[in-house]
């Protein structure tokens, strides 16, 4: 089975595997005590940039030694800039 993510055909297995690991990843983040730099572009189609709001990031990783968040305006999940709606290399 396949599904479409935007205009890209994506195997359903990919969605199942990633959703199964989500709870595990969040449980690890809750126990992290190291310094964390969180960067999510506002044009990221796979991860909501709301995770990089300072209050939400502190709830996700409450034990972090320090937490710095950034939400670049035109950045995608592969760290490419979106100029005029089209991705380009930085």
Q: Could you report the per-residue pLDDT of 14-38, keeping only the tens digit for each?
A: 777 777 777 888 899 999 999 999 8
pTM score, whole prediction:
0.64
Task: Return the pLDDT at 44.
Answer: 75
- Give the span between the Cα atoms of 31 and 37, in whole angstroms: 15
Cβ neighbourhood burial of 42 (10 Å; 0-12, 13-18, 19+) = middle
The band of 90, judged by pLDDT with boundaries at 50, 70 and 90, is very low
State the Cα angle at 29 between 72 and 31, rounded to 5°: 145
For 43, half-sphere exposure in the C-beta direction (CA atoms, 13 angstrom radius) is: 16
Q: Could you report the per-residue pLDDT of 50-72, keeping only the tens digit for each?
A: 888 899 999 999 999 999 998 88
């Amino acid at each position: 089975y396949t599904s479409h993510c935007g205009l890209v055909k994506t195997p359903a297995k990919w969605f199942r595997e990633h959703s199964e690991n989500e709870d595990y990843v969040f449980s690890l983040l809750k126990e992290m005590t190291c310094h964390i730099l969180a960067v999510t572009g506002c044009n990221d189609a796979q991860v909501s940039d709301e995770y990089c709001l300072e209050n939400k990031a502190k709830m996700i990783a409450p034990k972090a030694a320090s937490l710095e968040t950034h939400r670049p305006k035109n950045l995608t999940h592969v760290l490419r800039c979106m100029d005029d709606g089209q991705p380009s290399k930085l």
